[in-house]
Amino acid sequence: MNDFMSHMIRSELEDVVGREHVSVSESDRLTHSVDYFWLSRLWEDRSRTMPLADIVVYPGSADEVSRILVIANYYKIPVFPWGGGAGSQGGALPVKGGILLDMKRMDRVIRFDERSMCVTAEAGINYMQLEWYVNEKGYSLMHYPSSLTCSTLGGFLAHNGIGVLSTKYGKIDDQCLNLEMAVPSGRILRSAPVPKHSSGPGILHMFIGSEGTLGVITQATMKIFKRPETRRFRAFLFPDVPAGLAFGRDLLQEFRPSIMRLYNEEETRSIIKSILGVEKDGAFMNIAVEGNAEIVEIEEKIALRMCAERGGMDLGSDYGEKWWDSRVTFFYPDHALDLPKMFGTLDTVATYSNIEKIYWALKETIESFSGVRFIAHFSHWYEWGVMIYDRFIIEDPPQDPEEAMRLHNEIWNAGIRAVLENGGVVNDHHGVGLKLGRLMKEQYGESMIALEALKKELDPNGIMNPFKLGL
């Protein structure tokens, strides 16, 4: 953008949000150029600056977002919605310059509806703040991802995130009743007031997971839940992953625990040993059952009986309680993966018929690269299948950033292709972003035209978050 037009457009944006809410400072642009995408961190680490936005804008209302989009659409300037910047897929990165739309000023709770068990808030609200708000009233959102404290409502909806209690309370798309999204024409679109209906295909689910490529989510209504009367933990040890998977599948036919995490032998030997102190070989599993105390009592009995019948060992409740207390420890030093290591989480989800094939195919594919370690656990369970959260780790990646990028992308391509060939999907809950956009057509084939048509209609000039989600 030339200097003159840059100032002209800046003054239009200032007219919408006020001068104090528009920034071109280097520090603002730099801090909005790196998220949790490993390659963006590598690039900065090797003194290779990531692409910067031209202008950072902090809108204060849906109306302001709509007016900003009208300006951007007129001048055909890219717009990159930014929540907490905690995404791991490079989804919010301003890879084409333009306007970085930081949503965090939009942090108000709009409505608390105790009778209908829901709360409506602006999309920029930090999710922990929203959780505290409903906690004060005696409820919980029951969405507990490890990034709860550093992510926003809009960010979680945009990439369709998941929390540790999802097996009972659902993914964020199960928890959202309705939302509002501003699109480049300036219109503010609203989904139906409730998520379950037969008034045509659900608009809500067309917008959740759209990763800022169609418009900007400005507010949403989320379910709230009564806090459980009791929450009990139980740790089990299975001889191997297939035995643990069979137990989990069968348990889901009986009832839904809130947590069920099955760690493979490698992760049991490493992370579970170092954080929980479990000194045993096999596949460690932690489950939590919660809710009404009488029902929990029965569910725990069923779980114990089924574990024994399937060759599992009951390790009692202490490890599970320790796991709950340490659930974010996994993401803090010394346990968090970070530079100088190279790492990636290839989370996917599949039916029970396919998940084991995916596990073995991924393990073989990832371990075929020299010096790569593969660890995995299974965390979000359904009646029909389960997700796998598997990671590759390289202790000593190439120093040269271009070589490191090449290796990183080769591993991702090979891993995701192994997943797709065996009935999985590009991603379970971290989203697609910049990192995996190229693989979307390999998953969807011809069906990709449905997403492309939606994009063309809502964002004809292609200004919304270009190069993300393969759109």
- Return residues touching ligand FAD (CB under 6 A): 35-36, 80-88, 91-92, 103, 123, 145-147, 151-152, 154-156, 158-159, 161-162, 211-212, 216-217, 331, 429-431, 433, 465, 468
Q: Residue 420: helix, strand or coil by DSSP?
A: helix
Residue 1: DSSP 8-state: -
Return phi, psi of residue 63, to 5°.
-60, -40
Scan for tokens 């019948």, then name that residue.
Answer: 309
Angstrom distance (rounded) from CA 199 to CA 195: 10
Q: Residue 301 Cβ, how far from ligand FAD at the closest point, in Å? A: 30
CB of 209 to ligand FAD, least distance (A): 10
Both tokens assigned to 136: 């004060």
| Distance in Å, CB of 242 to ligand FAD, minimum | 25
Nearest to 405 by CA among 39, 19, 79: 39
Nearest CA among 441, 466, 450, 370 for reference residue 79: 466
Closest approach of ligand FAD to the CB of residue 135, in Å? 19
CB of 400 vs ligand FAD, minimal distance in Å: 26
The CB-of-149 to ligand FAD minimum distance in angstroms stands at 9
The whole-angstrom distance between residue 176's C-alpha and the CA centroid of its chain comes to 15
Q: Give every CB contact of residue 48 below 8 A, 6+ residues apart in sequence.
A: 401
Q: How many CB atoms lie within 10 A of CB 356?
A: 16
Task: Name the phi and psi angles at 291, rounded to 5.
Answer: 130, -140
User: Quick one: 356 or 452, whose CB is closer to ligand FAD?
Assistant: 452
Nearer to ligand FAD, 300 or 347 (CB): 347
CA 321 from centre of chain: 25
Burial of 253 (0-12, 13-18, 19+ CB in 10 A): exposed
Q: Are 44 and 119 in contact (CB under 8 A)?
A: no
CB of 452 to ligand FAD, least distance (A): 18
Work out how close the CB of 280 gets to ligand FAD at its nearest, in angstroms, rounded to a whole number: 26
Nearest approach in angstroms of CB 21 to ligand FAD is: 16
Question: Given the complex with ligand FAD, which of 92 and 451 has the nearer CB atom?
Answer: 92
Taking the least distance from each CB to ligand FAD, the nearer of 238 and 378 is: 378
Residue whose beta carbon is closest to ligand FAD: 155
Q: Which is nearer to ligand FAD, 161 or 320 (CB)?
A: 161
User: Considering the complex, what minimum distance in angstroms separates the CB of residue 99 from ligand FAD?
Assistant: 12
Min separation Cβ 51 and ligand FAD, Å: 14
| Smaller CB separation from ligand FAD, 68 or 158 | 158
CB nearer ligand FAD, residue 246 or residue 275: 275
User: CA nearest 234: which of 290, 318, 305?
Assistant: 318
Cα angle, residue 43 at apex, residues 53 and 404 outer, rounded to 5° = 145
Q: Minimum distance between the CB of residue 460 and ligand FAD, rounded to whole angstroms? A: 18
Angle at 298 between CA 296 and CA 303, to 5 degrees: 90
Decide if 468 contacts 212 (C-beta within 8 A). yes
Q: Which runs of E-coded beta strand occur in 45-132?
A: 55-57, 79-82, 99-102, 109-113, 118-122
When the beta carbons of 81 and 257 are compared against ligand FAD, the nearer one is: 81
Stretch (H or E) spanning 3: helix 3-17
Comparing CB distances to ligand FAD, the nearer of 130 and 303 is: 130
Name the residue with tokens 């919408």. 16
* Residues near 268 by beta carbon (within 8 Å), at least 6 away in sequence: 237, 278, 280, 281, 282, 283, 284
Residue 65 or 315 with smaller CB distance to ligand FAD: 65
Nearer to ligand FAD, 84 or 282 (CB): 84
Judged by beta carbon, residue 239 or residue 466, the one nearer ligand FAD is 466
Number of Cβ atoms within 10 Å of the Cβ of 282? 21
CA atoms of 57 and 55, how far apart (whole Å): 6
